Amino acid sequence: VDSTEEEFQRVLSSSLCGPASFLMIFAQVGLLRISLKYQTPSKPDSSASNMSILSSYSSSPSYSFDYYIDFLALLFSLESVLFILFQRYDTFIQAMGFFSLGLESTLPIPQLITNFRRKSLAGLSSMVLFGWLFGDSFKSIYLVFLMPNSNSIQFKICALFQLSIDILILSQSVIYRRQTKLDNAADQEEEEDQVAQQIDIDIDTDIDTQHSRLMIVDESTDHTTIV
């Protein structure tokens, strides 16, 4: 009975991982497309020298969406070939598991480092942070306590590691909460100023357009009177 139950759990977990993985891939590709479409070029520090400004622009090239799709297609093809050649070897399967799960578990680390350097979490949504915590907590509880025998050690180690990073980011939100409020207020004020400037530009453009039309009408009237 125990072996049958374990086999059922293994089949159930494997059948759910496939669709969930593809759903996550499609969601991340969609987010990549949106971020590339609406990204704004980062402005270098005004106090930096001209050479450092030029190097900052040259060291951060902007790639098109097609470039990333080509890279993903190449990566998928390479992984498929490696899997076909070495799928019989358990060491290869274990290494692929550690590599993929380990890479996925390190995704919050850049956010953790950015928060530490800025001493602020401005720009990071609270819903995103709690979404990370909820998802990783549920995943860790499921893998470690509910299904301890249905998954390999890679899942447990990487899930607990990612959850620990989420907890560190949560602690940063408490430690840096004062600076985060100040930065969010400054960002909101800057956004309002940009909107006001855009409105002024639109008004000036409309005034210039109306003035040009009036001049054309006046010139046409003068020409008719002379004739």
pLDDT of residue 147: 73
Domain that holds residue 22: 1-37
80 is a domain residue: no
149 is a domain residue: yes
Q: pTM for the complete prediction? A: 0.63
174 is a domain residue: yes
**Residues 101, 31 share a domain:** no
Euclidean distance between CA atoms 227 and 224, whole angstroms: 5
Q: How many domains does the chain have?
A: 2
15 is a domain residue: yes
Which DSSP string do the residues of 27-62 spell out, in sequence order?
A: HHHHHHHHHHHH--PPPPPTTS-HHHHHHHHHTS--
pLDDT of residue 111: 92
**Residues 105, 32 share a domain:** no
92 is a domain residue: no
| CATH assignment of the domain containing 165 | 1.20.1280
87 is a domain residue: no
**Residues 18, 105 share a domain:** no
Confidence of residue 41 (pLDDT cuts 50, 70, 90): low
Give exposure, 140-169, as e/b (b: 16+ Cβ within 10 Å). Answer: bebbbeebeebbeebbbbbbebbbebbeeb
Which stretch of 43-47, 67-71, 163-167, 189-193 has the lowest confidence by average pLDDT? Answer: 43-47
**Residues 104, 33 share a domain:** no
pLDDT (average), residues 132-159: 82
Euclidean distance between CA atoms 211 and 205, whole angstroms: 10
pLDDT of residue 123: 84
136 is a domain residue: yes
Euclidean distance between CA atoms 72 and 63, whole angstroms: 14
The token pair at 113 is: 């480092």
213 is a domain residue: no
Confidence of residue 110 (pLDDT cuts 50, 70, 90): very high
